[in-house]
Amino acid sequence: MRVAVLGAGLVGQRAARMLRDLGSEVTLCSRDRPVAPIDGVATTTGFDSATLTTDLAILATESMHQVQVAERLVRRGIAVVSTADRPLAVRTLWTLNALAQEHDAPVVVGAGCAPGLSTLMVAKLAEGFEQVDAITTARFGTGGPTCAREHHRSMAAGAWEVNDTTGRWARGGSGRTLVWFPEPAGPQDCYRAGLAEPFLLQQAFPHARRIQSVQAATRRDRATARLPMLRPPHAEGLVGAVWVEVRGMTTEGAVDHRVMAARAPQATAAAAVAALVGHDLVNRTSTFQGTRSVLWSNNAPNLLRRLPDDVTLWAHTSATGGSPLSKGPVQAARKWQIGREFSQNRPNQSLTLG
């Protein structure tokens, strides 16, 4: 199957390599800069969505640029996997549902790190729940320069969240929360920000009473959020982490809360999710019509199991006797590492991806 990766940044390059290893015929397309050669991957500079010939396009460019490109590709019957993480871009891509159905060109939205890896972990934790009451996601770190600029922008943007099943806007930079990410990130102060997860999670869990997403930020991040970036963004943030918590009622009637986290450079995690979702889509492992998030396949354990070894998963589950909407801190997400073999023989391992 032919796959075109549009965007030759960190995410695009790593997604192209992974798709190559999965057996796809891959072309990596740069918008305006020459692309360094990659063994087994065709490269090209400049791409025209009106003439692109491929079975699937993975969009790894700046978020808002993906909207127009995705619409053009869908009109030509080409399936699309988007890594966009800006809320406005995600919401706009979501409106392509009718167009995607008309042209039989499925569109996967939010196939990156956060959203993407984060929403897959939420889906895994929600298994076995009769009712999901509260979902919280948090992220630490950034990927490449585009991701760093998006992090800066999001701290000043309005934060969409769900409270008592009703969506509302909150001020970015508010709501300080201490989150325990896996080492070396460790405990970090996190704040509301303009993030896309609450919108996508609300589509998947419409009856959840509370959905909130936060991101780690320093005092300088908050103080300068409404100013232009004071220095050029770094080439890559090498330390990244995602943390999610789900609270609710199990099918046995017990109140439960579950926590899961992942540690990996954000660009690596985003590329892995995009490549795996794209591979399943182009090979018809799972099919659908219209627009969906990465949760469309109900195959979160399988996707999480196939992540590369440099994406490390951690988990903790614990039944509680309190309210599922309790806001008490959960500090155990970094305790138990999930082995790639998913062994049942480790007494401290409390979540199995099998």
Query: How far is 211 from 164, CA to CA, in rounded Å?
Result: 9
What is the DSSP secondary-structure string of 247-270?
EEEETTS-EEEEEEEEES-HHHHH
What's the mean per-residue pLDDT of the chain? 85
Structure tokens, 242: 């995602």
pLDDT beyond 60 at 352: no
- Residue 52's pLDDT band (boundaries 50, 70, 90)? confident
Q: What is the pLDDT of residue 135?
A: 96
The whole-angstrom separation of Cα 244 and Cα 236 is 23
Smallest Cα–Cα separation from 267: which of 70, 69, 6, 15? 15
By CB neighbour count within 10 A (0-12 exposed, 13-18 middle, 19+ buried), where does 136 fall?
A: buried
User: Does the reported pTM lie above 0.75?
Assistant: yes
What is the band of 353 on the pLDDT scale with cuts at 50, 70, 90? low
Span 117-268+303-337 CATH architecture: 2-Layer Sandwich (3.30)
Q: How far, in Å, CA of 339 to CA of 292, rounded? A: 30
**Lowest mean per-residue pLDDT among 78-87, 112-121, 265-274, 297-306:** 297-306
Distance CA 268, CA 255 (A): 35
Bridge partners (DSSP) listed for residue 29: 6, 44
User: Mean pLDDT over residues 76-101, rounded?
Assistant: 95
Q: 90 falls in which pLDDT band (50, 70, 90)?
A: very high
CA dist 353 and 351 (Å) reads: 7
Question: Mean pLDDT lowest for which of 26-30, 50-54, 192-196?
Answer: 50-54
- What is the share, in percent, of the chain residues with pLDDT greater than 70? 88
- What's the token pair of residue 344? 């049942």
The pLDDT confidence band at residue 329, using thresholds 50, 70 and 90, is very low
Ranked by mean pLDDT, the top range of 77-91, 224-238, 339-353 is 77-91
pLDDT at 297: 63
2-111+270-297 domain in CATH 3.90.260.10? no
pLDDT of residue 345: 33
Q: Where in the chain is the domain with CATH 3.30.360.10?
A: 117-268+303-337
**pLDDT at residue 321 greater than cutoff 60:** no
Q: Does 2 score more than 80 pLDDT?
A: yes
Q: According to the model, what pLDDT value does residue 254 have?
A: 86
Mean pLDDT of the 227-253 span: 86
pLDDT tens for each residue of 279-311: 988 887 667 789 999 887 677 888 898 999 889
- Residue range(s) occupied by CATH 3.40.50.720 in the chain: 2-111+270-297
Give the pLDDT band (50/70/90) at residue 225.
Answer: confident
Peptide bond just before 145 cis, omega within 30 deg:
no
C-alpha 68/C-alpha 268 separation (Å) is: 25
Model pLDDT, residue 323: 42
Q: How far apart are alpha carbons 111 and 55 in whole angstroms?
A: 18
Q: What is the pLDDT of residues 165-182, one digit of tens each?
A: 899 999 998 999 999 999
Q: Of residues 327 and 43, which shows the higher confidence score?
A: 43
